[in-house]
Amino acid sequence: MKRTGAVVAAVVIGASVVLEIVYRHHGHPVFWWQATPVFDFVYGIAGCLALVLGAKWLGRAWLQRDHLYTDEDEAA
Amino acid sequence: MSALHPAFVLFVTACVATAARGILRQITLLAGTLATLWTVWELDATASLSWALPNYTLHVLRVDALSHVFGLIFSLIACIGVLYALHVRRGGEHAATLVYAGGGLGVVFAGDWITLFVFWELMAVASLFVVWFGGTAQSQAAGYRYLLVHIFGGSLLFCGILIHLLHGGEITLAALTRSETPDAAFWLILLGVVINAAVPPLHAWLTDAYPEAAVTGSVFLSAFTTKTAVYVLIRLFPGAEVLLWAGVIMTLYGVVYAILENDIRRLLAYHIVSQVGYMVAAVGMGTALALNGSGAHAFCHILYKALLFMGAGAVIQATGKRKLSDLGGLSRAMPVVFGLYMVAALSISGVPLFNGFTSKSMIVSAAAEAHLPLPELLLTLAGVGTFLSVGLKLPYFTFMGDDRGLSPQRLPLNMLLAMGAGAFLCVWLGLFPQALYERLPFAAEYHPFTVDHVVSSLQLLTGTGLAFWWLLDRFHRETTLTLDTDWFYRRPLQAVFAHLIALARQAGTVLEAARASVLQALLPYARNPYLVPDRLTGVPLHLPPIDDDALPDGDRLVYDENRYRLPIGATVMWIVVFLAGLALVVFVAA
């Protein structure tokens, strides 16, 4: 399962980078990151890490509780 | 040209379906919703329905491209939702969902403020019953909180409408952002609408109530309330800058909470907040492309979100479990549900060739086109979070992961058929987005399948997938409750209410005691009015006996109330007759 995922990811990234380089002059980038190859791949990894770690930290520090409301709601 | 209002067709269907039983009810439900879809399909700009009142003419039906595209998706999802719920025997639930859908259609085809408000409130009431048909103590409690918030929102909207009309505003609906300076009416109406759009911190009613409805009811809930609010925002507040940032915050707010969530339907509900954020942000951008994107995303979102709720509902119905910590390894036992759920999950994540890609990328492109770098980056980041929670976390822990040895029950065929229909539409619109694009109201050209868009989307999703795989161990299931803004009205506000109620009860007890003592003091005088002059003057009243029965009691006369009952009663009767006659004369003369 993990190996299949890794192969699919590698193929997608490889193909997309080739496409990005071949079709570089066809797009209409507005911002610099739209013209930077593999930016979205890096942004996906970094964004996912930031969201998960940020949300977990926020949860531990503040948002997540064992008890919040009445017994009836805690049974939910 | 006078036309049949599609909401009317749904209301008639609701009445007939409630009265009918068995197969007859099922035929009524399907035929009625299909007839509604056909009625909407046949509507064009010439169709109208007006109702002249003394001061205003109400435009109950007004059709343009914007209302038509929302009307189409609302009637379409009513068909799919009814098919999904076809096995449900509670007639009341069918009636509530159909009236709710009819209210949604009423709002999008409303041409004036009064009609809009009436259907808006009808939706609130009907959807409350949809929540209550969850049939649990939790759904009842959540329903009351839902009611509280929507009464508040409806009141704000109504106050805004009244101020708007009092200031000489038009009765017909028109964009409020065209006027020079926003007034009190602008802000009140905006606030009333964004409560229904579930903009944080006014969103908690949604994530509180939607997961508590019946599995069939939450499919309808996911479609109508927030999307009618988006429709009203597009109609009334295009280009309101405050909405841009409210929308961007929404997208990330929902994503962060979804990461912490354990209940599968509540997780999906947080992603309603997140997805509606894209639409709200697009309304805030206000360009033709952005507004088209908002409408298109509402259209696609209704389809894939209903399919997600149908998938989650199928899991809950089959296993009786609703938390990720109780689920796992269902892909072998429920492969069809898994497959159909994944179609919706890939759609919401914006994978090319699925419908979410065709509309979400339009909004992100609109942000770039409008030169809004930070919103563009943050909306893209929210897309990462969407794939993470809905496309990876939820399906992994439900259908894969540790096998919990669950033995799911067989699902009714109609549920699977409805999911199949939803999945077909998600893929079809993903492959042929022009079918939707050509119905969009504003003049803007957009091509989704450019190398830029496709490559960017694939890279983003692959990156997210890899990071998820890497972090998988950190995703131990969350069994805690998450603090959200409903805390304010479930804890401090509830304490204030409880205090006020106790105060009112105390005042009532004091007043009751005072009333009793006053009555006690007056009682002797009511029994014998002759006592009044007696007590006032201190001199006992001496009156001759009226007849032989009234024997003097010592020096005083005994008062016999029966002696006066008839004459007083007769007088009162004649007064009533006279007043009734007078009222009749006034009524006839008027």
Assess B491–A contact: CB distance below 8 Å, yes or no: yes
Assess B33–A contact: CB distance below 8 Å, yes or no: no
Given A31, A40, A72, which is nearest B463 (Cβ)?
A40
Please judge whether A34 and B368 are an interchain contact, meaning their C-beta atoms are less than 8 angstroms apart. Answer: yes
Q: B114 lies in which domain range? A: 1-237
Q: Which two tokens stand for residue A42?
A: 């890096």
Q: Percentage of chain B surpassing pLDDT 90? A: 83
**Segment B409-429 mean pLDDT:** 97
Q: Are residues B173 and B26 in the same domain?
A: yes
Enumerate the H helices of B203-263 as residue ranges: 204-209, 215-223, 225-236, 241-260
Q: Are residues B257 and B233 in the same domain?
A: no
For residue B504, tell me if it sits in a domain.
no
Q: A18 lies in which domain range? A: 2-74
Assess B460–A contact: CB distance below 8 Å, yes or no: yes
Assess B208–A contact: CB distance below 8 Å, yes or no: no
Partners of residue A68 in chain B, C-beta under 8 Å: 481, 483, 487, 490
Say if CB B301 and CB B226 are below 8 A apart. no
Q: Which of B114, B142, B116, B110 is CA-nearest to residue B129?
A: B142
Assess B468–A contact: CB distance below 8 Å, yes or no: yes
Residue B238's region, left for phi above 0, alpha for psi from -120 to 50, else beta, is beta
Please judge whether A63 and B471 are an interchain contact, meaning their C-beta atoms are less than 8 angstroms apart. Answer: no
**pLDDT per residue over B331-342, tens digit each?**
999 999 999 999
Length of chain B: 590
For residue B512, tell me if it sits in a domain.
no
For residue B166, tell me if it sits in a domain.
yes
Distances (CA, A) of B588 to B356, B575, B582, B583: 63, 20, 10, 9
Please judge whether B483 and A64 are an interchain contact, meaning their C-beta atoms are less than 8 angstroms apart. Answer: yes
Report the chain A residue with the minimal C-alpha distance to residue B253. A55
For residue B507, tell me if it sits in a domain.
no
Q: Are residues B246 and B364 in the same domain?
A: yes
Query: Any idea what the Cα angle at residue B380 is, between residues B300 and A4, rounded to 5°?
Result: 85
For residue B517, tell me if it sits in a domain.
no
Chain A: nearest CA to B463, how far in angstroms?
4
Q: Which of B313, B338, B327 is CA-nearest to residue B405?
A: B327
**pLDDT per residue over B192-234, tens digit each?**
999 999 999 999 999 999 999 999 999 999 999 999 999 999 9
For every one of its 76 residues, what pLDDT tens digit does chain A have, with 9 covering 90 and above?
678 888 989 998 999 988 888 887 677 788 999 888 899 999 999 999 999 999 999 998 989 888 777 544 444 4
Nearest-angstrom CA–CA distance, B229 and A1: 43
What residues pair up with B59 in beta bridges, in sequence order?
A: B50
The pairs formed by B25-34 with CB atoms below 8 angstroms and a separation of 24 or more are B25/B91, B25/B94, B26/B86, B29/B82, B29/B86, B29/B94, B29/B98, B30/B79, B30/B82, B30/B83, B30/B86, B32/B98, B33/B75, B33/B78, B33/B79, B33/B82, B33/B98, B34/B79
Q: Are residues B209 and B120 in the same domain?
A: yes
**pLDDT per residue over B484-516, tens digit each?**
999 998 889 889 999 999 999 999 999 999 999
Q: Percentage of chain B surpassing pLDDT 70? A: 96
Nearest-angstrom CA–CA distance, B417 and B81: 11
**pLDDT per residue over B286-311, tens digit each?**
999 999 999 999 999 999 999 999 99
pLDDT at B560: 73
Please judge whether A56 and B259 are an interchain contact, meaning their C-beta atoms are less than 8 angstroms apart. Answer: yes
More confident residue, B369 or B479: B369
Please judge whether A56 and B474 are an interchain contact, meaning their C-beta atoms are less than 8 angstroms apart. Answer: yes
- Give B127's contacts (C-beta < 8 A, 6+ positions apart): B96, B100, B103, B146, B220, B221, B224, B225
Please judge whether A49 and B260 are an interchain contact, meaning their C-beta atoms are less than 8 angstroms apart. Answer: no
Q: Are residues B213 and B269 in the same domain?
A: no
Say if CB B171 and CB B114 are below 8 A apart. yes
**Segment B405-425 mean pLDDT:** 96
Distances (CA, A) of B578 to B100, B415, B565: 48, 66, 20
For residue B526, tell me if it sits in a domain.
no
Q: Which two tokens stand for residue B571?
A: 């007088």
Helices and strands in chain A: count of H runs, count of E runs: 3, 1
Q: Are residues B56 and B197 in the same domain?
A: yes
Please judge whether A43 and B452 are an interchain contact, meaning their C-beta atoms are less than 8 angstroms apart. Answer: no
Q: Which two tokens stand for residue B440?
A: 């969009």
pLDDT at B369: 95
Nearest-angstrom CA–CA distance, B154 and B175: 19
Please judge whether B483 and A68 are an interchain contact, meaning their C-beta atoms are less than 8 angstroms apart. Answer: yes
Nearest-angstrom CA–CA distance, B225 and B143: 15
Q: Is the pLDDT of residue B328 over 90?
A: yes
Q: Which of these three, B210, B237, B264, is where a domain ends?
A: B237
Partners of residue B483 in chain A, C-beta under 8 Å: 62-65, 68
**Segment B439-467 mean pLDDT:** 94
Q: Are residues B298 and B155 in the same domain?
A: no
Output the 3-class SS for B283-313.
HHHCCHHHHHHHHHHHHHHHHHHHHHHHHHH
Q: Are residues B380 and B411 in the same domain?
A: yes
Q: Are residues B135 and B176 in the same domain?
A: yes
Given A16, A26, A51, which is nearest B256 (Cβ)?
A51
Q: Which of these three, B197, B213, B237, is where a domain ends?
A: B237
How many domains are there within chain B?
Answer: 3
Chain A: nearest CA to B372, how far in angstroms?
9
Q: Which of these three, B477, B495, B518, is where a domain ends?
A: B477
Chain B: nearest CA to A67, how far in angstroms?
7
Nearest-angstrom CA–CA distance, B265 and B131: 13
Please judge whether A69 and B371 are an interchain contact, meaning their C-beta atoms are less than 8 angstroms apart. Answer: no
Q: Are residues B256 and B400 in the same domain?
A: yes
Chain B: nearest CA to A46, how far in angstroms?
8
Q: Is the pLDDT of residue B59 over 90?
A: yes
Q: Are residues B65 and B178 in the same domain?
A: yes
Partners of residue A48 in chain B, C-beta under 8 Å: 384-385, 388, 463-464, 467-468, 471
How many domains are there within chain A?
Answer: 1
ipTM: 0.91
Q: Are residues B222 and B101 in the same domain?
A: yes
Nearest-angstrom CA–CA distance, B372 and B487: 34
